[in-house]
Amino acid sequence: MNLNISQLLTSAYLIYFLVLFGINLVNWIIYKIFTRFSDFFTSFKAAYVFLSLYLSLRLPLMFLEISNQENLTAFAGAFIVAALIFFLFKLLDIFVFDFILGEKKHLYLPPLLHNIILWLVYLIATLSLLKALFNVNLTPILATSAVFSMVIGLALQNILVNLFSGIILSVEQPFKIGDWVEINGRRGQVVQIDWRTTKLKNGLNDLVVIPNGGISQAEIINFYKPTRLHMEKINIGVSYRNPPSRVKDALLEIVGQIKGVRRRPAPEVFMTDFNDSSINYELRIWLDDYKDRLKINNDINTLIWYQFRRKDIEIPFPIQDVNLHTVSQIPEEEKQAALVKEITPTLLSVPILKPLSQKEITRLAGKVGYHTFAGNEIIFQENEPGDSFFIVKNGAVEICKEGSNNELLPIVQLKEGDYFGEMSLLTGERRTATVRALADTELIVIGKTVFQEILTSNPSIVEKLSYVLYDRQQETREKMLRIKEILNQAPPKIESHSSLLKSIRRFFGI
C-alpha cells in the first residue's frame, strides 16, 4: 500500500489555509467597496469552512497516489454536501427571518431564540447527513445521548436554569439591548443578552454581569418602556417662614431654562409633609431620556441654591443639637455703612446715573439689591416684562438675541462695572434681549420702587435722564447694525428725546 499520510495532511492543511485566506481576502475587498454585501458573505462562514475542508482533501488526492482513495473521496464529498446544506440553510434563514419577518412584517426574533432554532436545524441536518452518507446507526447515539443528557442536566443544573431563563427573557423581552433598567437594585444600560447572563453598563462605566436565572425571578424596572419619557422627582426642604406659593413659583421658574426637561407634560411642585425643621416639597419633572437624569438633577440643584438666595428663601439646617460659642458681632448699622461706602464708587461710574447728585447716589447705594447667578443661568429672557436695572459687580454676562431657529446669538459680553436693563427701569419697556451669566456673577439690582423715590423728590433730573437714555439707544443701535447679517433682523428704532421723556414721566407718574 503506497500511503503517504504525511504528504496528504501537509497538503490538506496548506490548501485549507490558502482557501480560507482567499475567502477572507475577497470578503475584505468587498467590504472596502460594498460594506452591505460584506455582511451578507460573512454570514456564510460555516459553508466556507466545509468548502475549504473539501478542497483541502480533494485536491491532494488528485496528485498523490494513495490507496483506498474511494473512502477518502467519499469523506471529502461529505464536506461538499455539508457546505451546500449550510449554504442553503443560511439562504433560507436570511429569506425567512430577515426578509419576510423583518422587512415585510417588521417582526424581529430575539437573537438568543434565533440562534437556538439555527443550531437545532444544524444538529438535525448533521445527524441526517451521517445517516445518509455513512449509514451511521443513530439509535445508540440517541439512546446514549438521553442518558448522557440526564447526567449532564444534573451536573449543570444552574447553567441550564440560566440558559432556559435566557430563552424566556428573549421571548418575553422585558428589556432589549440599549434599554436602561434596574434589576435587583442594580441600574445600568443593557449591553448584551447571551445564553447564560445579561450584561449591564452602569453609570460608573463598569460592567455588571447578572445570571439569567436571577433575572427571571427578580423585579425589573425598565426606564425605556412603555416610552423613553421618564418622570424624575427632586425633594427639597424649605423654612416654615417662606410662603408655599412663593417657593413653588421659584422652583418652576428654574426648570424652565434647563435643557432636557420637557415642557409638556408640565413640571409640578407638591408640598409633601411638615418636618421638624422644614416643609418638604417635591419637584416633578419629565425627561426625554433617563440617562440624562444625573446631569439634569445637578443643573437643577445648582440653580435652586442661586434662586433661593436671590429670593431670600431659606433651606434650614436640621435641628438636632445646640452648640454655644462666643462670636464677635459687627453691628448691622456698621455693616450697612461699609457696604454703602464700597458700592458708591461703582454707582458714580455708571453713565445712566450721572444726573444724580452725590447725596442721591449715596441714598441709592443703601437701598440697592444684590443677586447672584450661576454660570450659564438666564437672568432674563427677550420680551419678558421688567422694571429693574443691573450693574455687574463681579463676574460677566452675555447679551444675546434670538435667532431664526430659536437659538441664542451672542451680541456683546459685559464685565465688572458694565450695566444693562436701563430701558425697562426708566420706561417699563419689555426686555429687548436675553441676558445670561457666563460664570458665577453678582449683580447690583436697582428696582423701580427705589428709583421712584429719588425721581419723586427731584423731578428735575428726569429730562437729563432722557438725554442719557437717548445716547444709550444710539450706542445700542450701532452695535446691532454691525451684526444685522448674523441676526437676520432689522436693528431697533430710536425713540426721540421728547418721546423718551414722556415715557419716563408716564411710567413713574411724574
pLDDT one-digit tens code per residue, 443-499: 999 999 989 988 888 888 888 888 888 888 888 777 777 666 556 666 667 778 788
pLDDT at 308: 93
Tell whether 444 and 485 lie within a shared domain: yes
Tell whether 494 and 428 lie within a shared domain: yes
More confident residue, 43 or 88: 88
Q: In this structure, what CATH number is given to the domain that contains residue 176?
A: 2.30.30.60
Buried b (16+ CB within 10 A) or exposed e, 399-411: bbbbeeeeebbeb
Specify the amino acid at residue 405: N
More confident residue, 487 or 285: 285
Residue 339: pLDDT band (50, 70, 90) is: confident
Residue 349: inside a domain: yes
Q: How many domains does the chain have?
A: 4
226: preceding bond cis by omega (within 30 degrees): yes
113: containing domain:
5-136
Residue 325: inside a domain: no
Specify the amino acid at residue 171: V
Boundary of a domain, candidates 204, 222, 240: 222
Most confident of 64-73, 160-169, 173-182: 173-182
For residue 461, CA distances in Å to 256, 355, 361, 469 come to 39, 6, 13, 12
Tell whether 362 and 435 lie within a shared domain: yes
Does the pLDDT at position 182 exceed 70?
Answer: yes
Tell whether 294 and 190 lie within a shared domain: no
For residue 171, CA distances in Å to 14, 166, 195, 212, 280 come to 44, 9, 13, 13, 44
Boundary of a domain, candidates 222, 255, 290: 222
Tell whether 12 and 89 lie within a shared domain: yes
Tell whether 251 and 362 lie within a shared domain: no
Residue 433: inside a domain: yes
Tell whether 341 and 460 lie within a shared domain: yes
Residue 144: inside a domain: no
Q: In this structure, what CATH number is given to the domain that contains residue 407?
A: 2.60.120.10
Tell whether 13 and 79 lie within a shared domain: yes
Task: Say how far residue 255 (Cα) sits from the centre of its chain.
Answer: 17
Q: In this structure, what CATH number is given to the domain that contains residue 239?
A: 3.30.70.100
Tell whether 86 and 202 lie within a shared domain: no
Report pTM.
0.61
Express each pLDDT in 344-392 by its tens digit: 999 999 988 989 999 999 989 988 999 999 998 999 999 999 999 999 9
pLDDT at 179: 93
Query: Are 141 and 185 a contacting pair, CB within 8 Å?
Result: no
Mean pLDDT along residues 221-238: 92
Boundary of a domain, candidates 222, 254, 285: 222
Express each pLDDT in 189-219 by its tens digit: 999 887 778 899 998 889 999 888 888 888 8
Tell whether 251 and 381 lie within a shared domain: no
Specify the amino acid at residue 466: S
Residue 321: inside a domain: no
Residue 423: inside a domain: yes
Residue 145: inside a domain: no
Residue 1: pLDDT band (50, 70, 90) is: very low
Q: What is the rounded distance in angstroms from the CA atom of residue 502 to the CA atom of residue 510?
A: 10
pLDDT at 301: 93
More confident residue, 379 or 146: 379
pLDDT at 2: 46
Torsion sign across C-alpha atoms 401, 377, 425, 414:
negative
DSSP string over 465-492 = HHHHHHHHHHHHHHHHHHTHHHHTSPPP
SS3 405: coil
Tell whether 127 and 246 lie within a shared domain: no
Tell whether 207 and 238 lie within a shared domain: no
pLDDT at 180: 94
Q: How many CB atoms lie within 10 A of CB 353?
A: 23
Q: What is the rounded distance in angstroms from the CA atom of residue 382 to the CA atom of residue 406?
A: 11
- Quote the percentage of the chain above a pLDDT of 70: 72
Question: In which residue are the cell numbers 438633577 written?
Answer: 297
Residue 234: inside a domain: yes
DSSP string over 264-288 = SSPPEEEEEEE-SS-EEEEEEEEES
